[in-house]
């Protein structure tokens, strides 16, 4: 059977629940769904979210403050193992990483930091990027095939945002951030969406304040990256741009048998 993997920054799991998240999950029936920016602790969630029909769920949340960050995995198959974080306190306490091991691959669901707030947060973001690379390199050394999905908070190339020139000095499209993605790709991680779609105009995030989605003035910052050994198995990679409820659209990846 093909394996359908979705990733979605929901910009608040409780908010998106009120907009039909569970009904959408039932319709889409992904085998694995990685959710970012849940903005919730488990004690703030109801049984419908914690135990949706047909799914096991795993959660990581911010120990720094409530209503901030957080990721979750909804999975049909029970993972062999699930780990929260990289084992680095300053990153793990923000609840940004879940690592689920399956027989055929290891799935990383990550909400990468935003670097816009300050120079300190930009450094935090870059350090987090480096920790991610080390984690994936270690997994590959163990012989694992790896899928790294989530909101990377950076558009890699000019084709990945509607207005590149205007955003050259904006975090999310800074040379230092884009250079790290170059390094990430050089290390063997493949932006699988671009294997199927070479043309511009595909975005996964739009500024809500300016109604940018209506005009498709967006950024592609939500990705599925896969290690090179998984590329032959990928059947499709798409952005579900018609799915509303967040300022991000879900991104889809389907692995063939």
206 Rama sector, left if φ>0, alpha if ψ -120 to 50, beta otherwise = beta
Both tokens of residue 230? Answer: 């998984």
> What are the distances in angstroms from CA 100 to CA 59, 118, 213?
11, 32, 32
Of 31, 151, 191, 222, the active-site residue reads 151
Cα angle for residues 206, 148, 181 (degrees, 5° grid):
70
70 Rama sector, left if φ>0, alpha if ψ -120 to 50, beta otherwise = left
Is 151 part of the annotated catalytic residue set? yes
CA dihedral sign of residues 17, 72, 31, 188: positive
Cα angle for residues 134, 140, 145 (degrees, 5° grid):
125
Catalytically active residues are 151
């Amino acid at each position: 059977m093909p394996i359908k993997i979705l990733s979605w920054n929901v910009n608040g799991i409780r908010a998106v629940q009120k907009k039909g998240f569970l009904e959408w999950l039932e319709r889409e029936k992904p085998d694995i769904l990685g959710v970012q920016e849940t903005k919730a602790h488990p004690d703030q969630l109801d049984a419908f979210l914690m135990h949706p029909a047909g799914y096991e769920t795993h959660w990581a949340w911010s120990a720094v403050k409530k209503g901030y960050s957080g990721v979750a995995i909804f999975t049909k198959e029970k993972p062999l193992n699930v780990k929260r974080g990289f084992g680095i306190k300053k990153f793990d306490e923000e609840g940004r990483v879940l690592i689920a091991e399956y027989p055929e691959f290891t799935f990383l669901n990550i909400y990468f930091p935003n670097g816009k707030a300050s120079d300190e947060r930009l450094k935090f973001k870059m350090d987090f990027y480096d920790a991610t690379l080390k984690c994936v390199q270690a997994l590959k050394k163990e012989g694992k095939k790896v899928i790294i999905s989530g909101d990377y908070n950076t558009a890699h190339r000019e084709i990945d945002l509607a207005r590149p020139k205007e955003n050259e000095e904006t975090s999310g499209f800074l040379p230092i951030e884009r250079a790290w993605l170059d390094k990430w790709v050089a290390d063997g991680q493949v932006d699988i969406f671009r294997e199927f779609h070479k043309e511009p105009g595909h975005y996964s995030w739009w500024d809500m304040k300016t109604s940018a989605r209506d005009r498709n003035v967006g950024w592609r910052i939500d990705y599925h990256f896969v290690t090179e050994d998984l590329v032959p198995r990928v059947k499709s990679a798409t952005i579900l741009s018609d799915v509303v409820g967040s300022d991000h659209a879900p991104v889809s990846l389907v692995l063939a048998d």
